Amino acid sequence: MAQQAGVPPGTDPTKPSAARIYNYLLGGKDNYAVDRAAADKVLAVAPDQRRLARANRAFAIRAVRVLAEAGLRQFIDLGTGFPTSPSVHEVARRSDPSARVIYVDYDPIVHTHNTALLAGDDHVASVQADIRQPEAILDHPDVSRLIDFDRPVGVLCVAVLHLVSDAEDPAGIIARFRARLCPGSYLVLSQFASESDQEAMVELRAVAAGTPVETYFRPQDQILRFFDGFEFLEPGLTSVQEWRQDTITAPTRLKIAGAVGRIP
């Protein structure tokens, strides 16, 4: 298939992308008709999905703020998606302007946008890589340049692992990242939970089946295993709407569970 004008190499505009669907749900414009169509099918049965996407993003930002205020100065954001303000580095730099951040995403359009946005910033970099290959990320030249693994690092894995099948060993992927982290490092993670409304969950699975955004819902006990080797920050594993959130919000049909853990 010939590459369309204006479409980065490696991008197939006929197949939905998790990053572009998320961008659409957040109200962004960096998406194609196929992404909007896939998202609209889910919105038809779970019209509060936009609210859940915003809640998931807000969870990530609250977690970064908590860690930055605790003194963390290095972050690796896996599956970062399209630039959204406030970004991880913007939040981290409110505590320390020297904070360093690596943004990682497999989507070539995301990489192109982030690279352009971050041009000229020596303490932030965009890396195009797949979370399923941790060593390719951890040993990337930009990661080696910016991240000192002898000091605490915060790894963000927000709404990413539900795109990784059990056969691809998501717990093993997290363990390989954890093995490179020193004590005092953190994991920020969220994942679609199988405690979701069954009709909405079936619809999302049907929409995503056989596509690059095939989605895997997981029960609480399986999500807890992702945090082996970490100690939970309060309140532990909970819905992303509830993690350190004072405002009570209405529940959503689909559920995303989130938590933050620290290596003791």
Tell me how far CA of residue 145 lies from CA of 28, 74, 100, 187, in angstroms.
31, 12, 10, 21
Q: Measuring CA to CA, which residue among 161, 166, 229, 214 is closest to residue 190? A: 161
236's tokens: 């532990």
pLDDT digits (tens, 9 = 90+) for 184-197: 999 999 999 999 99
Collapse the DSSP code of 94 into the 3-class scheme (helix H, G, I; strand E, B; otherwise coil) and give the result: coil
Residues 119-168 have pLDDT tens digits of 889 999 999 999 999 999 999 999 999 999 999 999 999 999 999 999 99
Report the alpha-carbon distance of residue 257 to residue 207 in Å, rounded.
21
Report pTM.
Answer: 0.90
**Would the pLDDT of 59 be above 90?**
yes
User: What is the C-alpha to C-alpha distance for residues 52 and 253, in angstroms, rounded to an integer?
Assistant: 9
- The closest alpha carbon to 248, from 235, 256, 257, 239, belongs to 239
264 class by beta-carbon count within 10 Å (0-12 exposed, 13-18 middle, 19+ buried):
exposed
Residue 131: Cβ within 10 Å count: 22
